[in-house]
Structure 1
Amino acid sequence: MVARADPPNEPDNVVPSPDQTSSFNAAQMQELTRQLIDEPGGPHAALAAIAQFMQQHGGFSSGWTRRQPVLLPRRSEPVYFVVRVELNNTHPPIWRRLRVASDLMLSQVHEILQIAMGWTDSHLHHFEMGPGARDLHLQPFLNQFDLDEGEEGLLEEQVRLDEVIASEGDRLHYIYDFGDNWQHTIRLEKILPFNQGDPVAECVAGRRACPPEDVGGIGAHQELLDALAGRPPAGADEEWLEQLLVWLPDDYDPAAFSVVEVNEQLLAGPLPDLANWHPMIADLLDRYRGGPLSPLGRLIKQATSGSTELSDAQAQAAVHRYQHLLRTIGDGVKLTAAGYLPPRIVHALYTELGLQQRWFGAGNREDQTLPVLDLRQTATALGLLRKQNGKLSPTRFSVKHLDDPHALLAHIGSRLPLGRPYERDAGLLALLHAAVGQRLEDPDQDTGAVLTDIGWRVSGVTVQQAARQWTWPTLRALEMLTAGTADPELRATIARSLLYRGSPPAHRG
């Protein structure tokens, strides 16, 4: 049984705005302070005490408001800002020194910070204006999630970096993952000339790896470092530390950092305009709640970065099997009583398309000749053939565009991925992996994780195991289109062309 898990009522890292909570007066604040002073056990116990106290007294006061930040004037010409980005309260310090163009939008700075620090863009974030220490009475800059929640304010994608920092020493604050609450301070150290053609962002120095995602915040990260160093903190929960070490990624090295690797990722650039690609791609990324740097975001970026153009000869070779099937069917063929192609048609397709090279048997019964069965079934699912009153006939589109391989490919791309909703999600992931050059017979291990994260569940087996079957309706069609070539790059280009929705290039020979 396949089911979609119910989505949570709200994300687990959403911070309520002050005006959504009830009163919390000064006397109660003093009481809470005394309770925290008396409470042993470190930050986790303190957080538990806060949660319990707020449940009893109804939260913080709604008597204060957050004022809008006042932007600085934009520079007439871009310059380089040399900034030091530090993850607050880390010991030893975790920091990066970046050279960034002053005219970048904050939404672009967000992606740069995610790459430079090593985060995966799996949680919400906010920028807060300085130029000094954090001011909790100042409203953060908003992102798309805030808009969807009905917030009003300044959008980060409309605010330039030089509108929030301008002079050496100015600070900008960046908070990532409101649950773990990773607070970063971005301090402007130096202003340098920027020349046309220079990279808009470059990492020049840094120290240490960022904490693993979802480790639990600064306190938990410090406990992890102590445990890795063989000096677990006094009074620490040994069972929890043991579970934490088991959960830790195998390749995690807290001291590791590479300027070269960061700059390679920065040069890869942002996601393309997904309006030019299959609409399911943007929808899948939205349901995954991931950004450009999430595992799915990285896959999409890689899958959409290559050529989508096929020559006339390459397009012709890709649709050859379907064209041959349509010409063999002609005006229509009466199916057998069991609903299969007649033996003479099956045998003609089997021999003329050279399918005996990947199958065995006489090749005259469709139910025993899988390559022919797959060809006919996928052609029907793709809207190239239709079955009516025991007869198989070409569709109007097929008749009109039989001799136009590019039109056939565009039509096939419009019908992919195939199947039920969960098969379509799995099929789209299969197309993306094919577009980066992955072999069709090697399903990616991340497919099951993505399908699980967007809510799919199945009984009896894991989602990863089920995904192998769910991708099959789409992969059968893709196999028909790529069977004529062993060139991995051409196979990837065919997959990208099926996903592309932009203006078609001029056909070439």
Structure 2
Amino acid sequence: MTHSTVEGIAFTERLHGAGGEPWDLDEDEEDQDEADLDAATSELVRQLLQSGMSPADLIRSLTGGKGFGDSPFATPLPTPTLFDHRPEPATYRLRVDLNDVKPPIWRRLDVPSDLTLDQFHVVLQAAMGWFDVHMHGFRMRADGAWAYFVSDEHEDDGVHEGGLHEADVRLDQVLASPGDRITYDYDYGDGWEHTVRLEKVLPLGEGGCVGGRRACPPENCGGVPGYESLVESMGHGEGGELVDEDALDDLDDLDGLGDLDDLDGPMLMPDWDPEEFEVEEADRGVKAVLSGGWAGIPDLGTLDETLVGMLVAARGTAAERMLATITSAALDADPEEDPYRDLDAEIAEWMRPLQVLLDVVGDGVDLTSAGYLRPDDVSGIFTRLDMQKRWIGKGNREDLTPPVANLRRLGRLLGLVQARKGRLLPTKAGRSLREDSRALWSWIAGRLPAGRAGTKEPAILYLLAAASGGIPPEFSEVTAAVLGGIGWSGGTFTGKQASSAIDPTYEILYFLGGVDRQGRITDLGQALAAKALRSRQ
């Protein structure tokens, strides 16, 4: 934490009482109208930012350490001062450190100097291992204050109005000489800050990830404090070494993405290990982003002889099993025809839970102080969907009613609802799709396969198998053999990696009812998988 940040935090202590709770700015001025209060708050935020405080520290300080969701704040900020373009593109060797985490989590990258910041954002997501499910932003120092760059997400929320857009700024305009730094913020709720430092300027060459240490923290784990608690609960000592593997058995509520009774808990992969970092996997993801595709790997979205050729190239029994599984998926129909035209009634029934959720949310509903849906809203969803048939309980508390909690989780994963400042709100997509089951069906198909950059190929194979109506028991190992056989991940892709890569797609299908409790594909799952793959044609 910088000296200026400490000064900023000291300044905000005036806003807190002895108990550490935020001071009510309106307490002694009941006639102050809302517009004046907003203006005063914006001015305070501007001064704190210019004092050197980071967004994450500002949020934690103003809210007594609680944060207030993904969205930071809307306020005019200084315009960044940019360097001139380099005369010729070069390769930048960058060191990316996740701030305030011990032991350190870092990556070393080689990237073209003429990348725009919005492109560099995708590179960072792939290199670190984030899922790109929260807001992000870049900032740099300008005249002793932080200057921010605008993203599409900021514009949608009215944040950082009037600033330079990240898509219009190149990397060499913010980093010119070794030692120059910028900051990359991700997930303003958890408050992850990354320092990006230029180490070397090299001749233009192939980009990629050339080094790093330790796994990326799980999404939604609560920032640095939550991450540290999670690592400790898993039995890792201060130096990061695993001291008791049996401790993992006590984490039933965090055991993979399929068990999400804790609504806003960590997106913890089944085999996540905080010490593990595979530079080959990160390098593959970065190269994929920089090349705009997977160099040397056939386009898995064509669903024709290209896919068959990939399987043949893999050779062996594994490829034969996969080929036998997916050839029954009937995905070679005329793309101009709608193979789902006779499924109107089924699609309406399948989409009904999400439409009920969107109907209850309406234009927005208040959440409890703990961040849950209020009892009346929980009861409304529980009753309208007849959840009492499959869940014993009153159905009026979200934290005690997993079917409702999981439905809300599904809505968020699909980009239909979002929590903001103590309210659950529909997104633009949620508002437009609320009453159109067909359009909602197509929207969900377009979101599959899910997952971060660099992990979707195994999920595509999973969807292919699902579209055929069955998932082989040895599916992860078969997928690993197929992809490894054609050189994916250096020919050493493992079943463990395949399972982790497939989990986000599996989670969506599971919550929709596309996969039953035994992992078997239902009619819904088969139709949705086929629709998702056809949408890639």
Structure 2 length-normalised TM:
0.47
